[in-house]
Amino acid sequence: MPTFHLRALEAADLEVLFGPRDRAFGEAWLKRQTQGEVYVAVCELDGIPVGRCGLDFVRQPGRADIWAAHVEPDHQSQGVGTALLQHLEAVARQRGFGRLQLGVGKENPRAQRLYERLGYAVCGEEVARWRYPDGERLVEVAEDCWLMQKTV
């Protein structure tokens, strides 16, 4: 059985779990984590960081929002995503949050199935928008998402 270890994001993880597209996001999340606005969980498998997922305490009062689930391709389908989500649920409960929300791309049925298996139900939809740097230019992304919630 693999041994998972769940912990908070650290500066050294930026080299391992973030690529050129999302490195700036990782740096911003570390800063927000220091300020107590978010908690970004990292899952280590046998001592190596293989996945991360964030929990935002301030985006919406009374609710904690899960975002940016990512497991390294070689380590998907081994329970890492499940372990990250269950860890974030425990952290949310400890912080006094009873309601969790996340967004999942309508064209990402595999991730949606994982969330449904863990008890999240569709409660709405939105277009998620973000930008990432590609050399000198900024690429704008708009993704149709289902919003899903769970009471923990």
Ligand X SMILES: CC(C)(COP(=O)(O)OP(=O)(O)OC[C@H]1O[C@@H](n2cnc3c(N)ncnc32)[C@H](O)[C@@H]1OP(=O)(O)O)[C@@H](O)C(=O)NCCC(=O)NCCS
Q: Which residues bind to ligand X, rule: CB under 6 A?
A: 69-71, 76-82, 104, 108, 110-111, 113-114
The residue among 108 and 149 lying less far from ligand X, judged by its C-beta, is 108
Question: In the complex, what is the shortest distance from the CB of residue 108 to ligand X, in angstroms, rounded to a whole number?
Answer: 5
Residue least distant from ligand X (Cβ)? 81
Residue 52 to residues 28, 84, 144, Cα–Cα distance (Å): 14, 7, 22
Task: Provide the phi-psi class of 105: left if phi over 0, else alpha when psi is between -120 and 50, else beta.
Answer: beta
The residue among 7 and 36 lying less far from ligand X, judged by its C-beta, is 7
List beta partners, residue 123. Answer: none
C-alpha to C-alpha distance for 24 and 95, rounded to whole angstroms: 27
C-alpha to C-alpha distance for 126 and 58, rounded to whole angstroms: 19
Question: In the complex, what is the shortest distance from the CB of residue 58 to ligand X, in angstroms, rounded to a whole number?
Answer: 20
The residue among 96 and 125 lying less far from ligand X, judged by its C-beta, is 125
DSSP class of residue 74? G
The residue among 36 and 109 lying less far from ligand X, judged by its C-beta, is 109
Question: In the complex, what is the shortest distance from the CB of residue 106 to ligand X, in angstroms, rounded to a whole number?
Answer: 11
- C-alpha 51: how far from its chain's center? 9
Question: In the complex, what is the shortest distance from the CB of residue 77 to ligand X, in angstroms, rounded to a whole number?
Answer: 4
